[in-house]
Structure 1
Amino acid sequence: MNTMHNLLFYPRLARTNMKKNNSIYYPYLFACSLMAGLLYVLNSVSVMVVDSGMKGGDIMYMLVRICFFICIFFVFIILFYINSFIMKRRKREFGLFCILGMGKKHLAFVLFWEVFRSMLISLLAGIAGGILFSQLMFLLLLKFVGLPGKLVFRIPFQSVGETILIYLICFFFVLLYDIISVSRANPTELLRSSKEGEREPKTRWLAAAAGAAALGAGYVKALTTYTASDALLAFFPAVVLVIIGTYCLFQAGSIALLKALRKNKAFYYKPENFVSVSGMIYRMKQNAAGLASICILSTAVLVTLSSCLSLYAGEEDMLRNQFPREINIYSQIPELTENADGRAEEQGTVTSGLPAAVQEAIDTLSASTGCETENSMEFYQLSLAASYENNSFTTALGNKGSSSMLYIMELADYNRLYGKSYELGAGEALFFTTGTPVEGEADICGEKYRIRERIDKFDITQLLGFATPVDLSVFVVPRLEDMVRLAKAGNALIPDERFPSYIYYHTFFDIDGSKEAVAAFEDRAAGEIPGITRIYVRSQVRAEFYELYGSILFVGIFFIILFLTATVLIIYYKQITEGYDDRERFGIMEKVGMSAKEVKRTITRQVLMVFFLPLGMAVIHIAVAFPQLCKMMTVFSMTNAGLFAVFTILSVLLFGLAYLLVYRLTARTYFKIVQS
């Protein structure tokens, strides 16, 4: 009987402890349940994608699984971070247990049952909620990618098992950390731990200067990226520098600022400022890490939300950027590159019979299928994968410099397509680039061209391949012979002949007719139009676009929920921790003469000063990073910077409203604790 009593004692004590500390455990259990539900939903959706056998399922499965594994990492970090807040509030209670006669072994049993109870509740609630919403989330994914679907209730037991396994591992390490942290402290330290104040921190000018330097370097990297390739290479180092700078400035720079405010007698010697500034100085080391974490997480929410919404809303624009017409035909003309003897001397131009044959075949096919072509675009183009350095483009492998995709067009085609009337002499060229501008004279595989004029705007939708992370440059040369000469010069620099460059004849057009007639034209085009190397039908490619960008938005939703959960939890526990720390201090202030109104005004000022600083810093981060993010978006053919700016501003406003709501809720809890 006594043995049974002992076995039930620790579970009962754990349950009683959690009930008594419901203000810190209920939000923790809710967050753990939410994260368990997210993991289950992601896992189950990936299983449903595979089982459905849908077209494009490989892309969706890959993105969802990548999101799943990244979410596991964040869940692990969030659980540990929030658990540290709970342990700080509970250490005094554990110290009291030790003084009353409980040993470290008995505390370990209590901790085991508290952690086990937390895990069990989280898993039951999370998986139950995930089961209810997983099918709806799968239908949401189908909606994003433009595929039909119907509601079918099912429970993938593989997902249940993997979610349980992940939580078993996570909570095992949480329990291990809790036991070690409690066992290393003596009862007196545990009893005093929750009341220990912070000694006045020293002004660490070196750390503040290092933080300012790191943040400045990160900002410079973001502001000096002129190309998509530079933006991709600089993004991770810039993020690391900004994170380091943010933490250093919040920890060292904020203390220096507060001490400077303390020296300002006109500001400091007012009741509300005196209490706020002095209190923040003494606890800033504790506050700084939480504030910096809130700032970084807020920035992550803003970047993820604005990017995913922009990519999803701009799908049609990106589709038109890569495929400017409904039918896009690319015909290779190797004879122009291999042999320039087909020169019509009386006209002084290189000729090929392929364009005429292509046009004749298109007219014949459209007539036989009952279709009409319209909005046609025809032009020659040479594309070279080159390296760029010091105004020089070369196809030689291993050349130093930045990667560049080089496009060559004939002046006659450019003037006709854009309604221009440029004239170029021999050895002159027009130039456009999304990368580093070329000044004066350009060297293209050994051929010299003087830049007659730089084109500030270029309709890049007419050139396939602008969805690449490399720098993009366009040269408009006087005649087709220049393109032939450049193609041969580029191929001569390639040590092997596996990947030669050829001149292509592009034929883009829209097609009008009945659904059956258009389908017949699309089916027969590849077989009946001569010289076709590639043919893209925009309506057929659209499904792949929606699969990719719809999946990106879907996984982005989960990242946003995770980041928001972490942000709200850190804010909430920070408010609770500060509330208990401030309760006795403000009680003393009331006893020495401060009115309740003055106390509340002082509390409000302190909370506002601390609470909205991370949000302001996050907005500055996103504003500075905006040019770099715009360049990175061009990797996905997202060139509409205006649309991205709109969604960025909208994301800031939406997140600001959510942040204000969290402030009002957590501040109310803080006031109750302080005034109790």
Structure 2
Amino acid sequence: MLAKLAFRNVKRSAKDYLVYFLTMTFVTAMMFAFNTVIFSADLQGRVSDVDMMQVLIILATVFVVIIIAWLINYMVRFMLQKRSREFGTYLLLGMRKRMIAHLYMRENIVLGAGAFLLGLVLGILLQQILLSILFGILQEQYHLQIVLDFRCVLMTMSCYAGCYILALFRCSWKFRKMNIRELMYAGQQNEEIKESHEEWKKWLFPASILILCILAFNLFCGKNWSMGDILVFLVSLVAAIYLFYMGLSSWIVCYVRKKGSAVYRGENLFLLRQFSSKVKTMQFTMGTLTALFTVAMLGCAFAMMFADYQNQMLDQKFPFDVQVFSEKEDEDFAKELEVLEQNTRIKDAYPYSILQNGTSEVSIWLSSHLDTFGDTYRNADGTPDLKKIESDKGAYYGTYDTYMSLSVYNHLREMLGYAAVSLEEGEYLIHLKERIYAETGDFSDGLSIRGTKGELGCGGYRTEPFSQDGHNGADYLIVVCDSEAEEMDIFYRELAVDIEGEAPNDLGKRLDDLAELSEEEIQDMMGHVYLDEMDTGYGTDTVVVYYAKNLVRDNLIPEVKYMLSSVIFPLFYIGLVFLCVALTVLSVQQLSDSAKYRFRYGVLRKIGLKKKELASVVWKQLFMYFLCPALLAAVLSGVIILFVSAVFVKSAGLHTSVLQYFSAAFVLFFGIYAIYFTTTYVGFLRSVDGTASGGPPSAAG
């Protein structure tokens, strides 16, 4: 008897809460696919920094589990409330509370288990897609294969089952405390609209908007945000979101009471009353959904920022096929060349020297003018703080300015396919990163570069990619005529190599192994100045800082892409899950209320509204309900994304509009939003009308 009843109820629940069932299936699939990365032996054997992605995915899973636990708890309580009259009837018929509680738990366990098993099947497909992308990033071929790692399945099942069991026991405990009367009337609690103190509550609506405007102003005009400032910003933002909904419902109620001009146009009175009552009874839920939507859009936009950097900048960051650094002034790179000859076909191998003349003109100017440093290296009157710069030398820039002779510079330009440049006697040229030149422009008036015969004049700037993260200078390099270079001292030595085809996967490791010296070799080199003592600096890049003795382009780009993907994938993971969870709550709320609205729409039909007009009212009602939290989240996230993207584009040197990331996240967000909205609209219309319906109606009524 109970088994048949449970089976019937499961079928009904699966039909009534199909959106919830499918969302849990999708979340399970995503959780399983991303957990695969944590336990993948193939990835662990190919990437040295695989731990980074594992840690970030575990951290993302923690956030996902928290929000899934909230969703399951919300839905279990919501379904209990909607079925409370049914359970009250069971009690009247003589069933015990313990039996009803066990029946309800059994139904939810079966429903959850069905979503989990279906999610595993879908998860295998997502797993193949995810692994194919990751192996593609590593420039390796991936052969499709079903991987059902026991640890991965166990972790996914533990997270999923833990959320379900906690929610069910909490709900069962609450159910056992309710009596028959409470059960019979629990389903009507959301219909009660308590209107009190609406006149003063309505002012919370403009107050919340004012708070949000102040936060936006501080975001764009504030300087040097501390952790305390960020915490205050986040707390104020969350408070403003909840105040917004408290004030919005009261503002609508007061507007209707005062019989505003728009109240009696068409079906506006019906729509405003429905919307205000829903917002009033779901203030906390609406605020929470807005926060989830905001986090979802931020996660997607930030992921797109890192993906854009990955596509634009990595090829520029490592322009040479192979580059080797040495602090020894007489280094001939014989060992490195031997390894390269054994493992590659060398087209051109060019050892050269980076020079210095004991001055720091350019590094002082950049330290005291770049936005990256702010006022750190400036006195109160705006002049460079030479003592501070001197004490911090070697952090971003080297001990001295880095110089290169014109002949060496042109040889390296030829290796990279750039046109040769020329200098007149008594001139210098500055080669620096494009993003820095975009900020500084021509700053030669602030420099005093001296040569053997007096001050040198500026012969121009070059900004092509030139490996300026500690190899060919840090951010900048000063090029002088060969006659001037002959009078300078060697700062350090470099080797640039152009090879045919792609480098072997382990070439970088083979070169790094040469640095493991024996005790005798260490004794022979005691007279040399080492990198740790001299420190050439690594520049002011912030997104990716890769400061290493040996750079092998074909080894580094896939590895750095994988590191960036360690941030990109978890951000998308969190964003998509949060978005689907929020939309599920919106959809289920309306679909569950559709039976209640059937009577109300029946009244509208009896007073003369036609079928198309009723469809239009349904569309408008759902659109207002869906759009409110989504639109507020789009505004909030849009402001934050525009601010962050402006900083990101400038600091990373990207050629991207600051609107691009928000636009892409907005399109993705509302694409998924449209799917949930359409599903809800069709299901709602079928319930209130009793017939199937197509897409959105015309603007009838």
Given the two structures, how large is their TM-score scaled by the length of structure 1?
Answer: 0.71
Match of 2:498 among 511, 514, 520: 511
- Provide the C-alpha distance between the structure 1 equivalents of 2:606 and 2:501, rounded to a whole number of angstroms: 86
Alpha-carbon distance in 2 for matches of 1:474, 1:254? 58
Q: Which amino acid aligns with 1:651?
A: A
Contact 2:594 2:684 in 1 (8 A): yes
CA offsets, 1:359-411, max 9 Å, x none? 999999999986436999957597799895583487999xxxxxx95678759
Matched with 1:29 is: 21
Conserved? CA contact 2:336–2:511, under 8 Å: no
Structural mapping, 1:458-477, within 5 Å = 463-464=468-469
Q: Which residue of structure 2 lines up, in the alignment, with residue 549 of structure 1?
A: 564
1:391 matched to which residue of 2? Answer: 378
- Residue in 1 aligned with 2:10? 18
Letter in 2 for 1:537: V
Task: For residue 573 of structure 1, report the CA deviation from its aligned partner.
Answer: 0.9
Residues 1:177 and 1:514: Cα distance change in structure 2 (over 3 Å): closer
Give CA-to-partner distance per residue, 1:397-444, whole Å, 9 cap, x none.
9xxxxxx956787598799999999999xxxxxx979999xxxxx9xx
Tell me if structure 2 keeps the 8 A contact 1:327–1:538: yes
Between the aligned partners of 1:204 and 1:420, the Cα distance in structure 2 is: 73
Are 1:328 and 1:506, in contact at CA under 8 Å, matched by a contact in 2? no
Equivalent positions of 1:479-518 (< 5 A) are 511=498
Q: 2:81–2:187: 8 Å Cα contact kept in structure 1?
A: yes
Q: Which moved more, 1:638-647 or 1:246-255?
A: 638-647
Distance 2:84 2:247 in 1: 28
Residue 242 in structure 1 maps to residue 237 in structure 2: yes
* CA distance in 1: counterparts of 2:47 and 2:323, whole angstroms: 23
Q: Deviations over 1:482-527 (max 9, x none)?
A: xxxxxxxxxxxxxxxxxxxxx9658585736576899999977997
Residue equivalent to 1:301: 296
Question: What is the DSSP-based 3-state SS (H/G/I as helix, E as strand, rest coil) of the residue aligned with 2:498?
Answer: strand
What is the match of residue 66 of structure 1? 59
Q: Pick closer, same or farther for the CA change 1:545–1:285 going to 2, 3 Å.
A: same
Structure 1 counterpart SS, 2:23: helix
Aligned residue number for residue 673 of structure 2? 659
Per-residue deviation, 1:245 = 1.9
Distance 1:250 1:643 in 2: 33
- Aligned counterpart, 2:588: 573
CA positional deviation for 1:654: 3.2
CA–CA separation in structure 1 for the residues paired with 2:111 and 2:138:
37
- Structure 2 residue corresponding to 1:105, chosen from 86, 94, 98: 98
Q: Which amino acid aligns with 1:171?
A: Y
Change (3 A) 1:29 1:607: closer
Q: Following TM superposition, by how much is the alpha carbon of 1:121 offset from its aligned partner in structure 2, in angstroms?
A: 2.1
The aligned residue for residue 494 of structure 1 is: none
Partner of 1:485: none
Deviates more, 1:373-382 or 1:210-219: 373-382
TM-superposed CA distance for 1:531, in Å, is: 7.1
C-alpha change, 1:627 and 1:394, in structure 2 (3 Å) is farther
Contact in 2 for aligned 1:365/1:525 (Cα 8 Å): no
- C-alpha distance 200-504 of structure 1, shift in aligned 2 (>3 A): farther
Give the aligned partner of residue 337 of structure 1: none
2:150 to 146, 157, 166: 157
Q: Is the 8 A contact 2:85 2:185 kept in 1?
A: yes
Q: 1:434 to 1:85 in 2, by over 3 A?
A: farther
Instruction: State how 1:360-439 maps to structure 2 within 5 Å.
Output: 371-372=347-348, 388-389=375-376, 391-392=378-379, 405=396, 410=401
The residue type paired with residue 584 of structure 2 is: L
Instruction: Work out which of the residue numbers 38, 57, 72 in structure 2 matches 1:46.
Output: 38
Q: Distance in 2 between matches of 1:614 and 1:375?
A: 61
Asked if the contact 1:373/1:509 (under 8 Å) is kept, the reply is yes
SS, match of residue 46 in structure 2:
coil
Counterpart selection for 1:625 from 633, 640, 645: 640
Structure 1 198/359 Cα, relative in aligned 2: closer, same or farther at 3 Å? same
- Is this contact kept in 1: 2:333–2:351, CA < 8 A? no
Structure 2 CA distance for partners of 1:169 and 1:432, relative to 1, 3 Å: closer
Report the 3-state secondary structure (helix = DSSP H, G, I; strand = E; otherwise coil) of the residue aligned with 2:656: helix
2:77 aligned residue: 84
Partner residue of 1:452?
none
* Pairing 1:649–2:663 present: yes
Describe the shift of the 1:99–1:657 C-alpha distance in structure 2 as closer, same or farther (beyond 3 A).
same
Cα distance change of structure 1 residues 362 and 532 upon mapping to structure 2, 3 Å threshold: farther
Aligned residue identity for 1:101:
G
- Please tell me whether the aligned partners of residues 322 and 496 of structure 2 are also in contact (alpha carbons under 8 angstroms): yes
Any idea what SS the aligned residue of 1:570 has?
helix
Classify 1:669/1:414 alpha carbon distance in 2 versus 1 (closer, same or farther; 3 Å). Answer: farther
Return the offset for 1:207.
4.1
SS, match of residue 672 in structure 2: helix
1:671 positional shift = 1.9
Contact 2:468–2:475 (Cα < 8 Å) also in 1? no
How many Å separate the matches in 2 of 1:456 and 1:571?
A: 57
Distance 2:492 2:297 in 1: 43
Structure 2 residue ranges without an equivalent (≥5): 368-372, 389-394, 411-420, 429-434, 441-445, 447-459, 481-489, 516-524, 532-548, 691-701
Shift of 1:172: 1.8
Counterpart code for 1:549: L
State how far apart, in whole Å, the 1-side matches of 2:64 and 2:504 are.
48
Mapped partners of 2:299, 2:671: distance in 1? 17
Flag the 1:59–1:325 CA change in 2: closer, same or farther, 3 A. same
Going from structure 1 to structure 2, the CA distance change for 1:46 and 1:93 (only over 3 Å counts) comes to same
C-alpha spacing 1:26/1:515, structure 2 compared with 1 (3 Å): closer
Residue type matched to 1:35 in 2? Answer: V
AA partner of residue 597 (structure 2): D
Deviation per CA, 1:262-302: give whole Å up to 9, x if none.
Answer: 63632111231111112222232234444444433333333
2:620 aligned with 1:605, yes or no? yes
Could you say if the C-alpha distance between residues 294 and 82 of structure 1 is closer, same or farther in structure 2, counting changes exceeding 3 Å? Answer: same
1 CA distance for matches of 2:32 and 2:43? 16
1:554 shift after superposition: 3.4
State, as a whole percentage, how many aligned pairs show the same letter: 16
> Contact 2:202–2:250 (CA<8 Å) still a contact in 1?
no
Match of 1:511, as an amino acid? D
Q: CA deviation at 1:22?
A: 3.7
Task: Provide closer, same or farther for how the CA distance between residues 167 and 651 of structure 1 changes in structure 2, counting only shifts above 3 A.
Answer: closer
**Partners of 1:632 and 1:663 in 2: how far apart?**
34
Measure the CA separation in 1 of the matches of 2:503 and 2:246.
68
SS at structure 1 position matched to 2:262: helix
- 2:195 is equivalent to residue 200 of structure 1: yes
Q: 1:364 to 1:575 in 2, by over 3 A?
A: closer
Structure 1 range deviating more: 175-184 or 292-301:
292-301
Q: Which residue of 2 aligns with 1:222?
A: 219
Letter paired with 2:239: I
**Superposition pairs for residues 275-294 of structure 1, below 5 Å?**
275-294=270-289
Q: Distance in 1 between matches of 2:266 and 2:89?
A: 36
1:642 Cα offset (Å): 0.8
Q: How many Å separate the matches in 1 of 2:107 and 2:143? A: 41
Alignment pair present for 1:185 and 2:185: no
Structure 1 residue ranges without an equivalent (≥5): 1-8, 334-353, 398-403, 425-430, 437-441, 443-454, 467-471, 479-502
1:670 corresponding residue in structure 2: 684
Alignment root-mean-square deviation, CA: 5.3
Structure 2 vs 1, CA of residues 556 and 102 (structure 1 numbering), >3 Å: closer, same or farther?
same
**Partner amino acid, structure 1, of 2:469:** L
Deviation at 1:667?
1.2
Are positions 1:127 and 2:124 aligned together?
no
Matched positions, count: 596
- Which residue of structure 2 aligns with residue 166 of structure 1? 159
Normalising by structure 2, we get a TM-score of 0.69
**In 2, distance between residues paired with 1:376 and 1:198?**
80
